[in-house]
Amino acid sequence: MTLEPTHLERDVDPSTLESSSTPKQRATHQDGWVGKRTGVVVPSLSHSVQLNSQPSNQHAHTDVTDFLLSKVLTPEKLRKPEQMVQVQKSLSKLGELLYILRPLIYVLSILKFGRRSWKPWFISLFVEIGSDIAVKKGYRNGSRHNMMPLEKQELSRRLKQLLLNVMRGAFYLHITRPRLEKMCNKLEHKPVLSIVSNVLRDYLPLWEQIYFYTSAS
What does the pLDDT look like over 108-167, one tens digit per residue? Answer: 999 999 988 999 999 999 999 999 888 888 887 666 777 888 888 888 888 888 888 888
pLDDT score, position 21: 46
133 lies in the same domain as 156: yes
pLDDT score, position 108: 93
Which of 36, 42, 4, 1 has the alpha carbon at shortest distance from 20? 36
Q: Is 143 part of a structural domain of the chain? A: yes
pLDDT score, position 122: 94
164 lies in the same domain as 185: no
What angle, rounded to 10 degrees, do the helices at 177-187 and 193-209 form? 160
118 lies in the same domain as 139: yes
pLDDT score, position 209: 81
151 lies in the same domain as 188: no
Q: Is 77 part of a structural domain of the chain? A: no
Q: Is 96 part of a structural domain of the chain? A: yes
Query: Is residue 70 within 8 Å of 61, Cβ to Cβ?
Result: yes
114 lies in the same domain as 153: yes
- Residues (pLDDT < 50) of the chain are 20-21, 24-29, 53
Q: Print the domain residue range for 134.
A: 90-168
133: left (phi over 0), alpha (psi -120 to 50) or beta: alpha
In the chain, how many domains are there? Answer: 2
179 lies in the same domain as 203: yes
Q: Is 126 part of a structural domain of the chain? A: yes
DSSP 8-class letter at 173: I
Q: Is 69 part of a structural domain of the chain? A: no
Q: Is 67 part of a structural domain of the chain? A: no
Q: Is 185 part of a structural domain of the chain? A: yes
- SS3 category, 50: coil
* Paired strand residues for 33: 42
163 lies in the same domain as 191: no
Q: Is 56 part of a structural domain of the chain? A: no
pLDDT score, position 8: 57
125 lies in the same domain as 159: yes
Q: Is the peptide bond before 5 cis (omega within 30 degrees of 0)?
A: yes
pLDDT score, position 49: 53
pLDDT score, position 30: 55
